Structure 1
Amino acid sequence: MNALTRWLTEPVPRGRIAAFRTLVYLFVAADLVIFTPWVHAHANTPGDLYQPLLLGRLLPLPTPGPLLVHGIFWALLALSLAAASGRAPRLLGWPVFILYFEWMIIAMSYGKVDHDRVGLLVALAVLPTVGRARHGDRELSEAGGWALRVTQIAVICTYFLAALAKLRFGGLEWVTSGVLAQAIIRRGTEFADLIAGVPYLLILAQFGIIAFELLSPLVFVVPPRWRTRVVIFFYSFHLMTFSMITISFAPHLVAMAAFLPLEKLRLRRRATQTPQPTS
């Protein structure tokens, strides 16, 4: 086994997979009713406005209508909640991925394409390959390690490719442009208004964004004891973004949990339980 294969399949506790799986599938259910309920509107959108993404053209997928959109919503809501229990991970996991993939095709085929769902889609595609995993299980799994690793790669590609897109379409002038200023004008908060008043701070922030996105792959080479701290910094970046222009990147944040030792949450809760005195 070469070094790349060992890195891609570095074993992780099955308890981590169980926790990550529950988080991902619960988010899918929440996404349907909280973050993307507007997809329902496409049930009654004229079919000639539907311009499917490349994968939607290659497969090809049907033009959305009331039966398709509402059917996917209710089926996906029920299946994702069932999958969050950890039961029948393949039987439930594959349909959740397929239905959510189609939900995203419908959502993004009318002129607006979000890039914050790549990591989540990859997670949904690979989680069914792991098989059963119980919360708190310390047994190591190479299949689980592979599922988390490819999700991590998708998360970091989201950052790195976003920087390349900025430089490709905006050029080096992007970092000195008024991109952040325009975003604050459109949807800025009172906190953003305070920051915008500081001379050159928005320009410095744009330099920082490009540097952060281009250097994000370094998370894979930092010492393991520092990796969680780097990921916490990633989360703090999104917290700052939300506090300024109310963009949440919620699907991306869920997928980024693939970096975290989620199994310790359960183990720590058990460890902190105080034994009851016996009479």
Structure 2
Amino acid sequence: MISRWFFEPVPRGRIAAFRTLVYLFVALDLVVFTPWVRSHANTPGDLYEPLLIGRLLPLPTPTPLLVHGIFWALLVLSLAAASGRAPRLLGWPVFLLYFEWMIIAMSYGKVDHDRVGLLVALAVLPTVGRARHRDPALTESGGWALRVTQIAVTCTYFLAAIAKLRFGGVEWVTSGVLAQAIIRRGTELADLIASVPGLLIVSQLGIIAFELLSPLIFVVPERWRARVVAFFYAFHLATFATITISFAPHLVAMAAFLPLEKIRLRRRVVGPAPEPATQAPPHDRSAT
């Protein structure tokens, strides 16, 4: 039963679409979301405090050659991998390079939790093999890859709630966490919300409840699951609209829940308009 759930077959076209989305985002992430990582090329080495995995392997202290080399290699390989060609030959290097890119990014005092799902997706996509867009053939290995990505996405929510309760206690719900976030980086919409007495406390209670209950998405009937995922996306849209925090990598990984193979990009054909069909001449009654 568990094995069937983990390896539930999905269309290969879904894997192809998800793979393209993930690898294109990696390239976009390098130049839009995390270009600041390149500044660590010139950061003094004694400020580098690697995460536990960086100490266990061990990974080298970032240097200009290492940081810039990873940047350009990852940019080229991720764009090539987005084509779907050589999924293993390109996929494994992309995962390893992006993994090291994240170690470099998060080893200077700040650790983001919105990249767990994306890293898992990068780790499992090369195991699927070839997949073509709009291919309806089913694949169990692809189903497993999407399932473990879904689990990683859900764990991101659930473990975030556990961390809040572990370090902040139940008092986190009634604390001034959201108020501080609004003061630091809030928008005009956030100011309107903050002006309503008690609404921030209700919002914090809602956040904890949402994160703790997020694993229930796996028991929601299939016909309702897309609506639950839409609620997840709406939650992050509201977060960005109020305190301008983006969870872009997490949102990309969350697409593992969606039937991406059903998305059709219409091609606009440019050329002369087709000539109207000629009509048959009317029947000549005088000939009869």
Q: TM-score range by the shorter chain?
A: over 0.9
Question: Which of 8, 25, 28 is the aligned partner of 2:26?
Answer: 28
> Are residues 218 and 91 of structure 1, via their aligned partners in 2, closer, same or farther at CA, if it must alter by over 3 Å?
same
User: Following TM superposition, by how much is the alpha carbon of 1:277 offset from its aligned partner in structure 2, in angstroms?
Assistant: 8.4
* Structure 1 residues 36-115: aligned runs within 5 Å: 36-115=34-113
Secondary structure in 2 matching 1:238: helix
Flag structure 1 segments of 5+ consecutive residues without an equivalent: 271-275
Mapped partners of 1:89, 1:106: distance in 2:
25
User: Following TM superposition, by how much is the alpha carbon of 1:181 offset from its aligned partner in structure 2, in angstroms?
Assistant: 0.3
> Are residues 139 and 63 of structure 1, via their aligned partners in 2, closer, same or farther at CA, if it must alter by over 3 Å?
same
**Residue in 2 that maps onto 1:193:** 191
> Are residues 278 and 55 of structure 1, via their aligned partners in 2, closer, same or farther at CA, if it must alter by over 3 Å?
farther
Which 4+ runs in 1 deviate beyond 6 A? Answer: none
**Residue in 2 that maps onto 1:128:** 126
2:112 matched to 1:118? Answer: no
> Are residues 49 and 139 of structure 1, via their aligned partners in 2, closer, same or farther at CA, if it must alter by over 3 Å?
same
Rg larger for:
2
In angstroms, what is the RMSD of aligned CA positions?
1.2
**Residue in 2 that maps onto 1:273:** none
**Residue in 2 that maps onto 1:11:** 9
**Residue in 2 that maps onto 1:231:** 229
Deviation sequence 1:235-276 (CA, Å, 0-9, x none)? 00000000000001000000000000000003x859xxxxx8
User: Following TM superposition, by how much is the alpha carbon of 1:278 offset from its aligned partner in structure 2, in angstroms?
Assistant: 8.8
Mapped partners of 1:189, 1:261: distance in 2:
34
TM-score (norm. length: structure 1): 0.95
Mapped partners of 1:105, 1:68: distance in 2:
12
User: Following TM superposition, by how much is the alpha carbon of 1:100 offset from its aligned partner in structure 2, in angstroms?
Assistant: 0.1
**Residue in 1 that maps onto 2:286:** none
User: Following TM superposition, by how much is the alpha carbon of 1:215 offset from its aligned partner in structure 2, in angstroms?
Assistant: 0.2
Mapped partners of 1:21, 1:14: distance in 2:
10
2:193 matched to 1:161? Answer: no
Deviation sequence 1:21-50 (CA, Å, 0-9, x none)? 000000000000000000011001000000
Mapped partners of 1:269, 1:158: distance in 2:
35
> Are residues 278 and 13 of structure 1, via their aligned partners in 2, closer, same or farther at CA, if it must alter by over 3 Å?
farther
TM-score (norm. length: structure 2): 0.92
Mapped partners of 1:109, 1:142: distance in 2:
37
2:161 matched to 1:170? Answer: no
Flag structure 2 segments of 5+ consecutive residues without an equivalent: 268-273, 278-288
Letter in 2 for 1:233: F
Question: Which of 220, 223, 230 is the aligned partner of 1:222?
Answer: 220
Secondary structure in 1 matching 2:263: helix
Letter in 2 for 1:241: T
Identity %: 85
Mapped partners of 2:73, 2:276: distance in 1:
49
Question: Which of 230, 247, 251 is the aligned partner of 1:249?
Answer: 247
Deviation sequence 1:104-156 (CA, Å, 0-9, x none)? 00000000000000000000000000000000000000000000000000000
Letter in 2 for 1:88: A
Deviation sequence 1:76-104 (CA, Å, 0-9, x none)? 00000000000000000000000000000
